[in-house]
Amino acid sequence: IPIKGVYNRESTMGRRDQYCLLILIFLSLAVRLLVYQGYSGSDAANYVEESYNILNGNYSVAQRLSSISLYKIEPSTLFNYQNLRLGFLIPNALSMKIFGINEYALSIFPLLCSMFMIVSVFLLGREMYSSKAGLTAAVFAAFVPQDINLSSAFLPHMPAASFMALSSWMFIRAIKRFQSGVRASAASMFFSGLATCYAYTIWEFAIFSLPVLALYLFVYFGVFRAFRLNEFWLLGFSFLAGFLTLFGIEALYFFSLSGEWLARPRLISLMGKLILDVHPIDAQNTNYWLYPSTMAKSYYFGMFFYLAFGGLLAWLYAACTAKSDDHSLRLQSLPVIWLLFLLLYLQWGSSSFRQYFPTFKLVTYMTVLSAPGALLSSFLIHWLMERKVGLQEGILTRSRYFLYAAFISLYIAVSTGSAFMNYWGNGPFRRDEVERYSIIDFINRHPDKPLYTDVWTARLLSFTSGYTKRIFV
């Protein structure tokens, strides 16, 4: 094994690691609550209103498809591809039902998924490297500035990314444990496919987990060797069975509404093209410097992507200098494939498979890179620490754990500061400066009179009043 200490076959989790992970979760949750985002209008308004419709049995997609042909539906402010993301809408509707119509209830699902992401990255790091490296990866994942701000926002990117990470962990777990238990391995792969499809129902971009995991499977087994292995076929079909189970349920539902088996993919493709044609903000879709420049802006991602790409280079160096084909390096190739494939598709991909339309370029989409970036960052740190193993004595060898703690503390401080910069209005996640109590007081002082206002204020007032007030645009 060329990277001593980074990869550990046993990868067991001790009690101390459990306590460290628990402390990390509570610390990251506290930071997220300090920069609470909540309702911010725009896309969040669409998700809130559609969740409310589902709660009351008035799903807008069902109503429209019952009266309009699939190919005659046009997107609008109140109806676009966001209305199709049932994996995100249904949990929010359940939160509304249990906790009432308020922004704190709607933050529960994204916040839980944010914590889930940290745990999934830890489990991934433990499987690929070691328990210690898994904890380091969890720290990097817990303090990505943009993710801290997104965790309490009514947006699907964080939940989708968390289920992609969960799916990847079960995928690797199934591969590693195949020899010791075929049934358990196949079951793990089945649930991996199920988690991938659920991520797709939250946000359709998660469908690109499929080529990432397929490429990883070929890298792990070997392109020419894979087709001759029973292990490859059993694991592959188990994954597809899990994915197609949930995909089939969703397809059957939309078929009952429209008569089309692939109604959701067709609607997403159609709406993506139409919105690109008419939405002025999407002029940035041809700006191919958006993501590179965004990675370099400290208040978006702090030090995160510098470390992630450093880890990518470290892995490539280790792979190129390994004396022979190494099992551990093939196992550790997943975050490399994951990061590069999704970044390239975000940069150059199409929002339609029939015709090339540059995919939407939004900073929030980069949340799908958090898990692989955290894993590669952890790889870099532990790889650098192991480079000093040859020194029997010396200040670097004796102080490497102090340097490690100092660097992690610096990363947390910079990331937390960047998240507060976003929260205070210097980044993309500035909370709407709306005095909610003043709005509620205003509504209560005029209980019987209808209000006339612009569309965005109307949506905010409707949500604040629990959809009980008559408001006209």
Give 10-residue mean pLDDT values along the chain (473 residues).
43 76 95 88 85 93 85 72 93 94 90 96 94 95 95 93 97 89 92 98 95 95 88 94 97 92 84 65 70 86 96 93 78 96 92 77 92 97 75 59 89 94 71 57 74 79 80 80
For the chain, the farthest-separated pair of C-alpha atoms sits apart, in whole angstroms, at 81
How high is the pLDDT of residue 7? 47
Question: Which residue's entry shows tokens 């939407």?
Answer: 360
* CA separation for the pair 471, 473 (Å, rounded): 7
Contact between residue 40 and residue 431 where contact means Cβ atoms under 8 Å apart: yes
How high is the pLDDT of residue 155? 92
How high is the pLDDT of residue 3? 42
- Sign for the CA dihedral angle at 303, 306, 309, 314 comes to negative
How high is the pLDDT of residue 121? 97
> What are the pLDDT digits (tens) for 404-430?
889 999 999 999 999 998 888 755 566
How high is the pLDDT of residue 1? 30
Amino acid at 137: A
Residues facing 471 on adjacent strands: 451
Residue 101: count of CB within 10 angstroms of its CB: 20
Count, residues in the chain: 473
Contact between residue 59 and residue 66 where contact means Cβ atoms under 8 Å apart: no
Query: Which residue in 142, 252, 236 sits closest to 192, CA to CA?
Result: 236
> What are the pLDDT digits (tens) for 141-198?
999 999 999 999 899 999 999 999 999 999 999 999 887 888 999 999 999 999 999 9
Backbone angles phi, psi at 108, to 5 degrees: -65, -50
